[in-house]
C-alpha cells in the first residue's frame, strides 16, 4: 500500500551534502518542508532546509527532535548507523529502508548480496587478517586485484592495488581496517551507471544509462546517452531493475557497472540515493532524479524519465578553484551555449571536494562534447592548468 504525504508535509533527510540540498530545492518548489539531520557542523549545503539538526547521529535528543518534526524520511548518503536507520524506520516510513541501505553501505554485504542473487560482480574474497590476505592473494589473476575496506569507502578511498606478489603482512598493517574485500582487477573498456526509480507499489522505471569517466577514482564526466551498444545498455537496465526488486527498494537507486575487456557487464557498486551521474537529469530530462525521489517519498506518481537532448555533466572539484586562484571564470563558462551551472554552497574549496557541476545540453552529441571540451579549457587550462582533460 502506498502512503501519501501532501504538500505541506515534512521530509526528513539524513545527511548534509549536496544531494540533500538538491532534494531540498525540489521539495520547497513543490510545497514541502525539509528537516536535515547532518550529524555535525553544516558545511553549507544543508542551509536551505527549514531546520538543520547538527547533533551527532547517536544523540537521543536529536533523534526525538527528528521524529517529532518529520512525516517521512530518506538518506542522502549511505554511511548512516544502522541502529539509527532501524530506530527511524520503527516510527515512520523510511525510503529506502534500513535493509537495502545496510547492504549498500558495506562492501562485504553488498558483494554477498550480488553473488547470492546471481548478479554479475567481480570475483572476490573476504579478508580479516594478514594470513587470510596471503591465501587470497595467491588466487588472484595475473593482472592483480584491489583490496577495499568493508566499510566507509567511496571515491577511491579505502582502496589499494595488490598483486600475487604483494607482501601480505605489510599490506595488511598499512591498510588499517578490521575486514576487507579483495576483488579481482577488471580490465575496463568503459564504466556506466543506471538510475532506477522504484515507488512504494513496486512500479519501476529507469533513466537512460550514463557513460562515466573517472579521474583519480572520482566521477569527472557523465555522457548521456551512453555511446555504447544499445543491447548492452538494455541489459544493464534489466540488471539494475532486478537488483532494485531483490532489495525491495523504494526510491532512487544507482547501479554502477564496469564493462570488461571481454565485453561483460559487471556490477561494481550500488548507491541507495540520488547519484552524481544523475545530475544531468535536472536539465536534460522531463523529471529530475531529485523530483523522482520526492515523488516516491510523498506517494506521488513516478514522473517521465525521457531525455530531451544529448547531455554532458562535468563535475567541479575544489581543484578548479585552486587552479583559478579561487575565482573560476563562470562568465566564460556560461557563455557556452547550453551550459547550466550548479554550485553546492560549500564554504571551502579543497582538492577533490565536490563543489558543483556544469551540465551541457545541445541538439547533437558532437555539440555537447565540444562544449565540455571548451569548459575544461576555461576551468582547467588544459595540461597547463595542471589537470589533463579526460579521454573523449
User: What pairs with residue 151 in β-bridges?
Assistant: 106
pLDDT per residue, tens digit, the chain (392 aa), is 899 999 999 999 999 999 999 999 999 999 999 999 999 999 999 999 999 999 999 999 999 999 999 999 999 999 999 999 999 999 999 999 999 999 999 999 999 999 999 999 999 999 999 999 999 999 899 889 999 988 865 555 678 999 999 999 999 988 878 899 999 999 999 999 999 999 999 999 999 999 999 998 899 999 999 999 999 999 999 999 999 999 999 999 999 999 999 999 999 999 999 999 999 999 999 999 999 999 999 999 999 999 999 999 999 999 999 999 999 999 999 999 999 999 999 999 999 999 999 999 999 999 999 999 999 999 987 433 333 334 33
* Cα–Cα distance for residue pair 13/225, rounded to 1 Å: 30
Asked if the bond preceding 225 is cis, omega within 30° of 0, the reply is: yes
3-state secondary structure of 282: helix
3-class secondary structure for 86-107?
HHHHCCCCECCCHHHHHHHCEH
- Give the right CATH number for 10-94 from 3.40.50.20, 3.30.70.600, 3.40.50.300, 3.30.70.890: 3.40.50.20
Q: Where in the chain is the domain with CATH 3.40.50.20?
A: 10-94
- Cell 515534512 maps to which residue? 10
- CA pair distance 128, 317, nearest whole angstrom: 34
Where does 123-184 sit in CATH, by number?
3.30.1490.20
Q: Does domain 188-385 have CATH number 3.30.470.20?
A: yes
| Cα atoms in the 13 Å half-sphere on the side-chain side of 16 | 22
Instruction: Answer whether 54's CB lies under 8 Å from 79's CB.
Output: no
Residue 124, classified by CB atoms within 10 Å of its CB into exposed (0-12), middle (13-18) or buried (19+), is buried
How far apart are alpha carbons 305 and 286 in whole angstroms? 6
pTM of this structure: 0.94
DSSP 270-285: EESS--GGGTTHHHHB
Domain with CATH 3.30.470.20 in the chain: 188-385
Amino acid at each position: 500500500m502506498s502512503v501519501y504525504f501532501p504538500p505541506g508535509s515534512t521530509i526528513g533527510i539524513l545527511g548534509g551534502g549536496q544531494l540533500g540540498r538538491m532534494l531540498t530545492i525540489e521539495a520547497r518548489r513543490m510545497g514541502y518542508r525539509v528537516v536535515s539531520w547532518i550529524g555535525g557542523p553544516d558545511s553549507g549545503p544543508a542551509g536551505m532546509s527549514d531546520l538543520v539538526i547538527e547533533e551527532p547521529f547517536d544523540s537521543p535528543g536529536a533523534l526525538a527532535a527528528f521524529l517529532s518534526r518529520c512525516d517521512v524520511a530518506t538518506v542522502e548518503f549511505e554511511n548512516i548507523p544502522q541502529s539509527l536507520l532501524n530506530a527511524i524506520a520503527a516510527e515512520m516510513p523510511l525510503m529506502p529502508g534500513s535493509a537495502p541501505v545496510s547492504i549498500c553501505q558495506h562492501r562485504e554485504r553488498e558483494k554477498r548480496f550480488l553473488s547470492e542473487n546471481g548478479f554479475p560482480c567481480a570475483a572476490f574474497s573476504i579478508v580479516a587478517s594478514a594470513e587470510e590476505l596471503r591465501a587470497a592473494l595467491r588466487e588472484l589473476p595475473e593482472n592483480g586485484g584491489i583490496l577495499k575496506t568493508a566499510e566507509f569507502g567511496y571515491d577511491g578511498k579505502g582502496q589499494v592495488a595488490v598483486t600475487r606478489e604483494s607482501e601480505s603482512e605489510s599490506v595488511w598493517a598499512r591498510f588499517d581496517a578490521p575486514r576487507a574485500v579483495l576483488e579481482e582487477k577488471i580490465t575496463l573498456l568503459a564504466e556506466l551507471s543506471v538510475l532506477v526509480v522504484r515507488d512504494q507499489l513496486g512500479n519501476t522505471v529507469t533513466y537512460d544509462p550514463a557513460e562515466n569517466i573517472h579521474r583519480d577514482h572520482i566521477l569527472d564526466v557523465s555522457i548521456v546517452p551512453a555511446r555504447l551498444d544499445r543491447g548492452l545498455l538494455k541489459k544493464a537496465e534489466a540488471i539494475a531493475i532486478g537488483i532494485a526488486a531483490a532489495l525491495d527498494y523504494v526510491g532512487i537507486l544507482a547501479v554502477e557497472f564496469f564493462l570488461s575487456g571481454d565485453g561483460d557487464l559487471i556490477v561494481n557498486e550500488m548507491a541507495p540515493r540520488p547519484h552524481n551521474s544523475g545530475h544531468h537529469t535536472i536539465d536534460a530530462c522531463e523529471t529530475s532524479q531529485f523530483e523522482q525521489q520526492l515523488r516516491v517519498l510523498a506517494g506521488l506518481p513516478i514522473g517521465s524519465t525521457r531525455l530531451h537532448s544529448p547531455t554532458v555533466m562535468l563535475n567541479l572539484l575544489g581543484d578548479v578553484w585552486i587552479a583559478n586562484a579561487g575565482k573560476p571564470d563562470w562568465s566564460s563558462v556560461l557563455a557556452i551555449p547550453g551550459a547550466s551551472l550548479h554550485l553546492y554552497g560549500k564554504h571551502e574549496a579543497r582538492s577533490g571536494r565536490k563543489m558543483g557541476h556544469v551540465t551541457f545540453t545541445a541538439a547533437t552529441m558532437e555539440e555537447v562534447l565540444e562544449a565540455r571540451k571548451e569548459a575544461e579549457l576555461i576551468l582547467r587550462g588544459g595540461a597547463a592548468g595542471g589537470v589533463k582533460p579526460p579521454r573523449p
